[in-house]
Amino acid sequence: MFFLIGSIILTSYLTLSFKVVERYRISIFQTIVFNYVACVTAGSVFSGYFPINTNTFSQPWFKWALLMGCSFIAIFNIVGFTTQKLGVAVASVANKLSMVIPFVFSFWLYNEKSTLLKLLGIVMALAAVYLTMKQPSAKEGKPVSKWLLVLPVMLFISSGLLDTMIKYVEQKFLNESNNNEYLITAFASAACIGLVLLAILVITGKQKFDYRAIIAGFAVGIPNYFSIWCLLVVLKQYAGNSSAIIPINNMGIVLFSAVMAWILFREKLSIVNWTGIILSLSAIALIAYG
């Protein structure tokens, strides 16, 4: 339970941090790149050594780590842009509504048992995240580009597939001895891809390097590493019940992010939004104990 709470709080922190980055007008892309440098640093310090070596490239999970690294940097950019343009609540909800995808795959790939209460909890969860995402009437008059509405859809699909991939790799390839090696390899691949792209953007004059992005990146990256680490620990602890753990984790993030955005950034929540938050608590209980 401790690691589950840790995953919820740390992942919520990541979404909320993009609002701070926006306020200080720091490049979101540069922050994300240095965030992954920080993830590699934090993971290496935490484990006491740098786990990547020549043997890493021959590991059966290596290609999955590369794919995960590419997914990390792509999804994080979508999360950041969605947060800045549509708000913390919308980004968090669109991100974690994707729990439906790994939930379905859990039954298909691992033959996990379903119950009526779990299914009811999922239905309630979907209703809850929709209500939480519903914009307050004060914002309804503001025009929103139709192209921006594509962002939550992209976030839904990509995040759901990433959660499914994390569970698949954890189940098929990982154990206590190689867990950290895999995670740091994935972060290192994201960092390398990001640094190459950043160098191209700076050299071509499309972006100006901002040293503040290094500070912001480390402020985001250290919690980011431990958010994924906590999630992998929880999935290992409850190996036969990922269909419950992933939805609980995602709903907890939606709930915590929405409340903290309301407290810290005064993002307005309507009665409909609060109804969704309350409904999410009921959904978590049904999924957890169903």
Nearest to 129 by CA among 6, 231, 250: 250
Contacts of 170 by beta carbon, 8 Å cutoff, 6+ apart: 232, 235, 236
- The CB density around residue 157, as the number of other CB atoms within 10 Å, is 12
- Amino acid (one-letter) located at 101: I
CA distance readout (Å), 238 to 49, 102, 159, 179, 233: 28, 15, 21, 16, 9
Contacts of 189 by beta carbon, 8 Å cutoff, 6+ apart: 65, 66, 68, 69, 70
Per-residue pLDDT of the chain (290 residues; tens, 9 = 90+): 789 999 999 999 988 898 888 889 899 899 999 999 999 999 999 888 888 888 899 999 999 999 999 998 898 888 888 887 777 777 877 777 777 777 777 777 766 677 788 788 878 877 877 787 666 554 455 555 666 768 888 888 888 888 888 878 878 888 877 888 898 999 999 999 999 999 999 999 999 999 999 999 999 999 989 998 898 788 778 776 666 777 788 778 878 888 888 888 887 777 887 888 788 778 777 876 66
